[in-house]
Amino acid sequence: MSLAFQSALEFSAAADAGLDEALIVDLDGFEGPLDVLLALARAQKVDLLKLSVTRLAEQYLAFVREARRRRFALAADYLVMAAWLAYLKSRLLLPKPAAGGDGELTAEDEAGRLAFRIAKLDAMRRAAEALEARPILRRDVFPRGDPEAARIVSRRPFEGDLYELMSAYVAQRRRREERLYRPPSPVTLRLDEAREHLRELLPALTRWTALSGVAPARRAEGPSRASCLASTLAAGLELVREGALEARQLVAFEEVYLRGRKASGHKAAA
Amino acid sequence: MSPPVFAVERMVEALLFAAAEPLSAADLAERLPAGAEVAQALAALKARYAGRGVELVCVADRWRLQTAEDLAFLMTQERVEPRRLGRAARETLAIVAYHQPVTRAEIDAIRGVQANRGTLDQLLELGLVRMRGRRRSPGRPVTFGTTDAFLEHYGLASLADLPGAAEMKAAGLLSLDLPEGFEFTPGAGAEAEEDPLEEEAEFHVDYLEGEGEE
Amino acid sequence: MSPPVFAVERMVEALLFAAAEPLSAADLAERLPAGAEVAQALAALKARYAGRGVELVCVADRWRLQTAEDLAFLMTQERVEPRRLGRAARETLAIVAYHQPVTRAEIDAIRGVQANRGTLDQLLELGLVRMRGRRRSPGRPVTFGTTDAFLEHYGLASLADLPGAAEMKAAGLLSLDLPEGFEFTPGAGAEAEEDPLEEEAEFHVDYLEGEGEE
């Protein structure tokens, strides 16, 4: 599995350019509609929680239109967001319905929720940057290069977390599965069963009868038809050798016919 | 009779210097003569090293000596170019750090994308993130949090020292859903809803869930 | 213009601290800004560390920071504890966790190797695994299970919290190509076929464990 991380975006550049070329060209750099909305919202240069959602909706719709005009294949979630924003915008512009309270969120609530999500993503993005700006071990700050001894270790019982435990479990189970792979052996009609079956039929086999008619019919969970035929043929040949049966085949690959041998057959059966 | 402060300070200095990794106050106390005032010695030592080429810092509730940040430019030979996390991984790590305990679905919701499976797994593998428990909500999803290695890597004494966390909390930005009518209530994390799992009864139910989910 | 002595002293301090081996004055000069008075800085640093828990010494023309000789007694007392379980131990622990109660022979059968005797003993010694009882089968082999310390270490409220197949899949550990037969129901199996180790005492212990899950 390849981890195709998207290259970092230069947001300030996009913001300076307002909503134009920069954003459109960078479509591939965005991680979905919320990401685009954040970039647009940053361009408004206001507290993200006090953002004008109608303006944001317009900008986003323009962005999507432009992107489509340039024949970018737009993912469905971009279009879903566009449709939802168009709807939200229209609701924000309409006069408020007299009574709410039927559980449905007001347009203002929806707008607030969207602004919150954008502000939250923004906060997390800044947090990620702030973390990277910390003095990072072995990048900015360095521990003792030559500790005197592994003897002075912190008393943590040992390391290892659930993930490690799970990995260990799966790793060995997987190895075991590989080692123990055993394809199920097919169910076959046993030769002695086939013999028994033929012996029972023998008295009735006074005329040449096709092997396919002699072989036992397939039962639900039983051996396959091919196995029944093969075992019956093998058993039949044994009986031929013992003189209880005759077999013949007129053309290669055609049906085999069996017939009981009069006197000797009955003798053998008895 | 407890040993004099300067003697303890010397010992703490020597131990921290020799140690291969950060030591907690308890680790130190264990190796020092009975009655040694570890906290006091640490404070004195921290003051003594302030502004020097080597400094005493607290990471993940443990103490370590490390080179001063502004001298990083000298350390060309010691620097190991760490595997840089991609943007998605950095964001995911930040979300886990600031929202823990947090579920996979919540991370995705904040990022606004169906996360690449590998992102969180990469962090798990690097030991920066760990599984913490299960959320008491339908499906009982696993929750994630950060590790001590995370704190040590970023030189943080504790999660309370996450940059900007207090401000974000005050602004209500760390709650998972829109705070009621923008009346931001700091500290409205999901902690309360995490499952301490005392009930024995859940034992069996859980396995059934685990099996049935495939 | 040469940098001030104080600044050079800090740099030398940081370099010596972070270096993996003693550095000569020439080594230091090479890594310091041009014109730095290395000898002067070394002398100042030596004076500063005199009598401290850490001292600056010169051996064979190379400089190093080291712990004061009289504090050597602090450095030797600690016995080395295994910090990471080896692969065999991790796997054995995982099997005990997911299959308890389980016998030595069963562990070997699952791992597909004759286990090193020491592996299970190490886990017993670490207090992660305990003897649980005896299997009601020929030879009455001892069965093993995990301890409360195990739960505590992994942050599990109870065995029911062990991640199941769904989580393994979510973590990308289990892929779809695994055979159907990959199933496990931790603790479900042989419970009934087990006798307590010491009939009476164990009975109570088990009961208490069931109730008092932390």
Contacts of C178 in chain A (CB under 8 A): 174, 177
Please report how the helices A53-69 and A107-132 are oriented relative to each other, as an axis angle in degrees rounded to 10. 70
- Residues B68, B74, B67, CA angle at the centre, nearest 5°? 20
- Complex ipTM value: 0.63
d(CA C30, CA C65): 19
Q: Is B3:B35 a contact under the CB 8 Å cutoff? A: yes
Cα atoms found within 13 Å of the Cα of residue B160, Cβ hemisphere only: 3
Q: How many CB atoms lie within 10 A of CB B193?
A: 12
Q: Which range is least confidently modeled, A160-174, A221-235, A239-253, B96-110?
A: A160-174
pLDDT for the residue numbered A209: 87
Q: Would the pLDDT of B200 be above 70?
A: no
pLDDT band at B206 (very low <50, low <70, confident <90, very high): very low
> Chain C within 8 Å of B54 (Cβ-Cβ)?
yes
> Chain A within 8 Å of B24 (Cβ-Cβ)?
yes
What would the 3-class secondary structure string for C29-68 be?
A: HHHCCCCCCHHHHHHHHHHHHCCCCEEEEEECCEEEEEEC
Q: Name the minimum distance, in Å, from the CA of A88 to any CA of chain C.
A: 35
Name the closest residue on chain A to residue C22, using Cα atoms. A146
- Which residues are within 8 A (CB) of B156 and not within 5 positions of it... i.e. 6 or more apart? A134, B59, B60, B150, B162
Across the range A136-155, mean pLDDT stands at 71
Q: Would the pLDDT of A143 be above 70?
A: yes
Tokens for A262, please give them. Answer: 């009069």
Tokens for C73, please give them. Answer: 């007694």
Q: Name the minimum distance, in Å, from the CA of A175 to any CA of chain C.
A: 8
Q: How many CB atoms lie within 10 A of CB C101?
A: 21
C-beta atoms of A145 and C126 within 8 A = no
Name the closest residue on chain A to residue C21, using Cα atoms. A146
Nearest to B98 among A4, A5, A124 (CB): A124
> Chain C within 8 Å of B79 (Cβ-Cβ)?
no
pLDDT for the residue numbered C54: 92
Q: Would the pLDDT of B75 be above 70?
A: yes
Q: Name the minimum distance, in Å, from the CA of C200 to any CA of chain A.
A: 32
Give the global pTM: 0.62
> Chain C within 8 Å of A70 (Cβ-Cβ)?
no
Could you report the per-residue pLDDT of B30-56, keeping only the tens digit for each?
A: 888 888 899 999 999 999 999 999 999
Length of chain B as a residue count: 214
In sequence order, what are the beta bridge partners of A256?
A249
Q: Is A164:C90 a contact under the CB 8 Å cutoff? A: yes
Neighbours of chain B (3+ CB pairs under 8 A): A, C
Of C65, C72, C115, C68, nearest in space to C95 by CA: C115
> Chain A within 8 Å of B184 (Cβ-Cβ)?
no
Across the range C117-142, mean pLDDT stands at 85
Q: Would the pLDDT of B20 be above 60?
A: yes
Residue with tokens 């039927």: A102
- Which residues are within 8 A (CB) of B140 and not within 5 positions of it... i.e. 6 or more apart? B134, B195, B206, B209
Contacts of C67 in chain A (CB under 8 A): 148
Tokens for C189, please give them. Answer: 């199996």
Residue with tokens 């999901």: B190
pLDDT for the residue numbered B52: 95
Tokens for B117, please give them. Answer: 């499976």
Question: End-to-end distance of chain C based on CA atoms, in angstroms?
Answer: 66
Strand C54-59's sheet: what is its strand order?
C23-24, C62-67, C54-59
| pLDDT, chain A, mean | 76
- Which residues are within 8 A (CB) of A16 and not within 5 positions of it... i.e. 6 or more apart? A22
Helix (H) or strand (E) holding B56: strand B54-59
- For β-strands A209-210 and A256-260, DSSP reports them as antiparallel
Could you report the per-residue pLDDT of A18-60, keeping only the tens digit for each?
A: 445 556 556 667 888 888 888 888 887 777 777 888 889 998 9
* Among C residues 76-105, those touching chain A with beta carbons less than 8 Å apart: 76, 78, 80-85, 87, 90-91, 93-95, 97-98
pLDDT band at A148 (very low <50, low <70, confident <90, very high): low
Name the closest residue on chain C to residue A177, using Cα atoms. C179
Q: What is the DSSP string of B155-180?
A: T-SSGGGSTTHHHHHHTTTTSSS--G
d(CA B26, CA B32): 10
Q: How many CB atoms lie within 10 A of CB B148?
A: 18
pLDDT for the residue numbered C174: 64
Question: End-to-end distance of chain B based on CA atoms, in angstroms?
Answer: 65
Could you report the per-residue pLDDT of C172-185, keeping only the tens digit for each?
A: 666 545 544 555 55
Query: Exposure of B62 by Cβ count < 10 A (0-12 exposed, 13-18 middle, 19+ buried)?
Result: buried
> Chain C within 8 Å of A150 (Cβ-Cβ)?
yes
Residue with tokens 């080594």: C27
Share of chain C above pLDDT 70, in %: 75
C-beta atoms of C169 and B117 within 8 A = no
Q: Name the minimum distance, in Å, from the CA of C123 to any CA of chain A.
A: 11
Residue with tokens 């899949």: C169
- Which residues are within 8 A (CB) of A212 and not within 5 positions of it... i.e. 6 or more apart? A229, A255
- For β-strands B62-67 and B54-59, DSSP reports them as antiparallel
> Chain A within 8 Å of B64 (Cβ-Cβ)?
yes
Cis peptide leading into A186, omega within 30 of 0? no
Q: How far is CA B63 from the centre of its chain?
A: 14
d(CA A166, CA B210): 14
pLDDT for the residue numbered A133: 87
C-beta atoms of C160 and B202 within 8 A = yes
d(CA A19, CA A21): 7
Most confident of the following: B13-17, B111-115, C207-211: B13-17
Contacts of A150 in chain C (CB under 8 A): 80
pLDDT for the residue numbered A265: 44
d(CA A254, CA C13): 96
C-beta atoms of B18 and A152 within 8 A = yes
Q: Name the minimum distance, in Å, from the CA of C173 to any CA of chain A.
A: 7
pLDDT band at A219 (very low <50, low <70, confident <90, very high): confident
Nearest to B196 among C157, C163, C164 (CB): C157
pLDDT band at A99 (very low <50, low <70, confident <90, very high): low
Tokens for C171, please give them. Answer: 């973590």
Q: Which range is least confidently modeled, A205-209, C12-16, C84-88?
A: C84-88
Q: How far is CA A57 from the centre of its chain?
A: 35
- Which residues are within 8 A (CB) of A130 and not within 5 positions of it... i.e. 6 or more apart? B163, B164
| pLDDT, chain C, mean | 77
pLDDT for the residue numbered A179: 62
C-beta atoms of C164 and B213 within 8 A = yes
Name the closest residue on chain C to residue A150, using Cα atoms. C80
- For β-strands B102-103 and B142-146, DSSP reports them as antiparallel
| pLDDT, chain B, mean | 80
pLDDT for the residue numbered A73: 75
Q: Is A77:A64 a contact under the CB 8 Å cutoff? A: no
pLDDT for the residue numbered C25: 93
More confident residue, B132 or B95: B95
* Among A residues 80-119, those touching chain B with beta carbons less than 8 Å apart: 109, 112-113, 116-117, 119
Name the closest residue on chain B to residue C52, using Cα atoms. B10
What proportions of chain A, in percent to the nearest 5, are helix, strand and coil?
A: 55, 5, 40
Q: Would the pLDDT of A3 be above 50?
A: no
C-beta atoms of B168 and A123 within 8 A = yes
Coil, helix or strand at residue B147: coil
pLDDT for the residue numbered B1: 61
Neighbours of chain C (3+ CB pairs under 8 A): A, B
d(CA B148, CA B61): 9
Could you report the per-residue pLDDT of C87-120, keeping only the tens digit for each?
A: 888 888 888 888 888 888 888 887 777 666 778 8
Helix (H) or strand (E) holding B55: strand B54-59
Name the closest residue on chain A to residue C76, using Cα atoms. A151
Question: End-to-end distance of chain A based on CA atoms, in angstroms?
Answer: 71
- Residues A121, A127, A131, CA angle at the centre, nearest 5°? 150
Q: Is B41:B8 a contact under the CB 8 Å cutoff? A: yes
Residue with tokens 């401000």: B167
Q: Is B66:B54 a contact under the CB 8 Å cutoff? A: yes
Q: Would the pLDDT of A160 be above 90?
A: no
Q: Which range is least confidently modeled, A238-252, C66-80, C188-202?
A: C188-202
Torsion angle in degrees (nearest 10) through CA of B101, B107, B110, B111: 150
> Chain A within 8 Å of B25 (Cβ-Cβ)?
no
Q: Which of C27, C85, C152 to mutate to test the interface with A (most CBs of A within 10 A)?
A: C85
pLDDT band at C204 (very low <50, low <70, confident <90, very high): very low
Helix (H) or strand (E) holding A240: helix A225-241
Of A10, A112, A109, A8, nearest in space to A56 by CA: A112
Nearest to A165 among C18, C80, C154 (CB): C154
Share of chain A above pLDDT 70, in %: 74
> Chain C within 8 Å of A145 (Cβ-Cβ)?
yes
Of B159, B154, B107, B103, nearest in space to B132 by CA: B103
Q: Would the pLDDT of C152 be above 80?
A: no
Could you report the per-residue pLDDT of B175-187, keeping only the tens digit for each?
A: 877 665 443 222 2
